[in-house]
């Protein structure tokens, strides 16, 4: 397969939310003959419902949630011509969801959660495959777990790249010669065959990983916005679309909370120089954003991102004054608990840090276990502050340009900033503030720097 033409197209939850959305997405696929592989998320809201079921629900709530899943998926089935065949398959999956939800109400586990949650992508892909088949196109449904080999870190499994490459070449590549292939984003399987997931929003990552494994020429991410904007258009409706953006800038945006791309999406693209396109399945003719290895334009201020539900840990130790090894001890504890630190500032007697939650549901609470707090408390006094948000200004040469601090922090003077990181990266300047002020801070900064 030629590297220059083959496209992997990924459609997110809103693009397969209902029959009309699926039909629009099918139109996009069929109008792009170079699209050979389609990666889908679960229909919008299905994953959230399955996550809730997996957390263990009492009978009445369970019945309500199961009805909701059935209602959303049946509404699509009912519009298909060969509804009965697909209905049987969807019914089998619904039965499996019911059984697993009952098990989760007795005892939950991350492995069970991944197994249960994977059913969302299994259903959306079955429905979409049938919809494409009705357009008289040679199409195959493919279970991505056959090739997406991951670690057994349920909930945020890491792909095993070499194996994924080998399995994809063996099982998936041959199918692409004569068929359009529809497969699942987000899910994978570990060595023993148990289902895993790549973390919330992980379908973008799947598309990029499969693009890498199969030497795609482009990865198209179809979502509900017409590209990557200067900030989340839901927060600032006047945000401007970015026509072209570099891998580096887009990766910074994704890492710092621009939900439009999963933070890991660009890793495979960067490794293989595969351009990424982001567009809206609701308005496919309105263009979008191209993400390229490099762009000619490198503006000082590129975009603003907002990441909610951040937790700040402040660790106070009098021992730290003129002492050696305190930071090393703290980081050893965090590493033992598989926690990567996101932002950090230090003073003579304290460390303030936030936890990197980008691979999880976006909430730090699960990371801050009692065992971790107990171990840290043995070293220092621990303070935990929640309900904070992280705002990042993404740009180029930020730390080498005079006046950036004055321009940014001057505008932010009405806000109480809890932590500032500036200087470590030339591509970002970030700060924490109470969540209640976060949108206002983004709106104010956007008005000042981008409008």
Ligand X SMILES: N[C@@H](CC(=O)OP(=O)(O)O)C(=O)O
Ligand Y SMILES: Nc1ncnc2c1ncn2[C@@H]1O[C@H](COP(=O)(O)OP(=O)(O)O)[C@@H](O)[C@H]1O
Counting residues that bind ligand X (by CB under 6 A) gives 12
**Of these, 130, 220, 232, 375, which contacts ligand Y (CB under 6 A)?**
232
Total residues in contact with ligand Y, by rule CB under 6 A: 19
Q: What x-and-dash track marks residues 169-208 binding ligand X by CB under 6 A?
A: ----------------xx-------------xxxx-----
Instruction: Determine if 260 is a binding residue for ligand Y (CB under 6 A).
Output: yes
Per-residue tokens: 73: 């998926």
The first and second tokens of residue 59, run together, are 């009978």
Q: How far is the CB of 81 from ligand X (least distance, A)?
A: 27
How far is Cα 317 from Cα 69, in angstroms, rounded to an integer?
Answer: 50
Please tell me whether residue 439 binds ligand Y under the rule CB under 6 A. no
Binding at 47: pick from ligand Y, ligand X, none (beta carbon under 5-8 Å per type): ligand X
Of 208 and 364, the one with the shorter C-beta distance to ligand X is 208
Residues 6+ apart with CB under 8 A from 401: 300
CB 367 within 8 A of CB 360: yes
Residue 223 in marked binding region = yes
Angle formed by the axes of helices 435-450 and 404-411, nearest 10°: 130
Q: Which of residues 30-89 bind ligand Y (CB under 6 A)?
A: 41
Selection from ligand X, ligand Y, none that 185 binds (CB < 5 to 8 A by kind) is: ligand X
42 near ligand X (CB under 6 A): yes
- The binding track of 267-306 with respect to ligand Y, each residue x by CB under 6 A or -, is ------------------------------------x---
Cβ atoms of 214 and 1 closer than 8 Å: yes
Q: Determine the Cα–Cα distance for residues 165 and 215; give it in Å rounded to an integer.
A: 10
Quick one: which H or E segment has residue 83? Answer: helix 83-106
Interface with ligand X includes 41 (CB under 6 A)?
yes
265 binds ligand X (CB under 6 A): no
Q: Is 224 in the site for ligand Y (CB under 6 A)?
A: yes
The residue ranges of DSSP E strands in 198-297, in sequence order, are: 218-223, 244-246, 276-280, 288-292
Within residues 110-149, the interface with ligand Y by CB under 6 A covers none
DSSP string covering 306-357? EEEEEEEEEEE-GGGTT-SSHHHHHHHHHHHTT--EEEEEE-SSEEEEEE--
Handedness of CA 64, 68, 71, 77 (dihedral sign): negative
Q: Which residues are annotated as a binding site?
A: 10-13, 47, 121, 223-224, 234, 259-260
Annotated binding site for substrate: 47, 121
Q: Which residues bind ligand Y (CB under 6 A)?
A: 12-15, 41, 201, 223-225, 228-229, 231-234, 258-260, 303
């Amino acid at each position: 397969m030629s590297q220059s033409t083959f496209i992997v197209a990924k459609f997110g939850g809103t693009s397969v939310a209902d029959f009309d959305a699926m039909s629009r997405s099918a139109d996009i696929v069929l109008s792009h003959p170079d699209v050979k592989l389609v990666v889908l998320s679960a229909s919008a809201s299905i994953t959230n419902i399955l996550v809730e079921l997996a957390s263990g629900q009492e009978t009445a709530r369970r019945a309500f949630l199961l009805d909701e899943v059935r209602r959303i998926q049946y509404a699509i089935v009912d519009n298909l011509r060969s509804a009965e065949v697909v209905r049987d398959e969807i019914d089998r999956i619904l039965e499996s969801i019911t059984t697993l939800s009952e098990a989760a109400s007795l005892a939950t586990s991350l492995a069970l959660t991944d197994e249960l949650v994977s059913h969302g992508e299994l259903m959306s892909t079955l429905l979409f495959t049938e919809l494409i088949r009705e357009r008289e196109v040679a199409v195959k449904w493919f279970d991505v777990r056959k090739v997406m080999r991951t670690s057994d870190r349920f909930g945020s499994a890491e792909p095993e790249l070499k194996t994924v490459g080998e399995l994809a070449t063996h099982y998936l590549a041959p199918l692409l010669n004569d068929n359009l292939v529809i497969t699942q984003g987000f899910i994978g399987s570990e060595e023993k065959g148990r289902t895993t997931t790549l973390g919330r929003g992980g379908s973008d990552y799947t598309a990029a990983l499969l693009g890498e494994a199969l030497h795609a020429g482009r990865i198209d991410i179809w979502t509900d916005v017409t590209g990557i904007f200067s900030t989340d258009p839901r927060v600032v409706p006047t945000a401007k679309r970015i026509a072209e953006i570099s891998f580096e800038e887009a990766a910074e945006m994704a890492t710092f909370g621009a939900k439009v791309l999963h933070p890991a999406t660009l890793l495979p693209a960067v490794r293989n120089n595969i351009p990424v396109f982001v567009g809206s399945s609701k308005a496919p003719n309105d263009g979008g954003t191209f993400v390229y290895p490099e762009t000619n334009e490198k503006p000082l201020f590129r975009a603003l991102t907002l990441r909610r539900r951040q937790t700040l840990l402040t660790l106070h130790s009098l021992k730290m004054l003129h002492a050696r090894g305190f930071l090393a001890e703290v980081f050893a504890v965090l590493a033992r608990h598989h926690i990567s630190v996101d932002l950090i500032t230090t003073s003579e007697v304290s460390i303030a840090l936030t936890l990197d939650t980008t691979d999880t549901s976006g909430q730090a609470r699960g990371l801050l276990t009692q065992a971790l707090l107990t171990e840290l408390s043995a070293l220092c006094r621990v303070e935990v502050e929640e309900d904070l948000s992280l705002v990042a200004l993404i740009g180029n040469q930020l730390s080498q340009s005079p006046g950036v601090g004055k321009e940014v922090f001057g505008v932010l003077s009405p806000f109480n900033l809890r932590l500032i990181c500036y200087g470590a990266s030339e591509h970002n300047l970030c700060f924490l503030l109470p969540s209640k002020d976060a949108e206002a801070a983004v709106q104010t900064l956007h008005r000042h720097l981008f409008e």
